Amino acid sequence: MSENCIFCQIVAGDIPGRTVYEDDTVLAFLDANPLSPGHTLVIPKAHHERLNDTPADVAGEVMSTLHELVPAVEAAVDAPASTVAFNNGEEAGQEVPHVHGHIVPRFEDDGGRPIHALVTDRPDLSDDELDAIESDIVAEQA
């Protein structure tokens, strides 16, 4: 628990939330500033700032909960689709430093855009550059 974290305060019951799912590890609640009806956040109850900081078993529980909740959220608001995403770090747009997955129900003509619209200045990488990045990622896992 982090005293200054709004999500930890929701987990502790110090701040009210509209809980849609809860177990020993995970809490899911409606976003207080939704991008669409049904916008849901899925968080680990324990404080972890980024996915990188989250133990694999806890991250697995968060993903399993997302997997179960996506169809329920879509059905509840009659959405034909949803965007499921994590902003991992401040530079990626993470506003609350507590790992959280978003389920954003999507509707025809909702003005939303695909994930490839996140960045407007996309790199033009050569095959050699892509090969080097691939090798570096593989090496970081060793």
Active site residues: 100
Q: Which long-range contacts (CB under 8 A, 24 or more apart) does 3-11 make?
A: 5/47, 5/96, 5/97, 5/98, 6/96, 6/98, 7/41, 7/43, 7/47, 7/96, 7/98, 7/100, 8/47, 8/98, 11/43, 11/45
Take residue 70 and report the two structure tokens written for it. Answer: 């996506």
Distance CA 85, CA 112 (A): 13
Take residue 133 and report the two structure tokens written for it. Answer: 């990045």
In 10 A of CB 72, how many CB atoms? 14
- The distance from CA 54 to its chain's CA centroid, rounded to whole angstroms, is 13
Take residue 86 and report the two structure tokens written for it. Answer: 């994590």
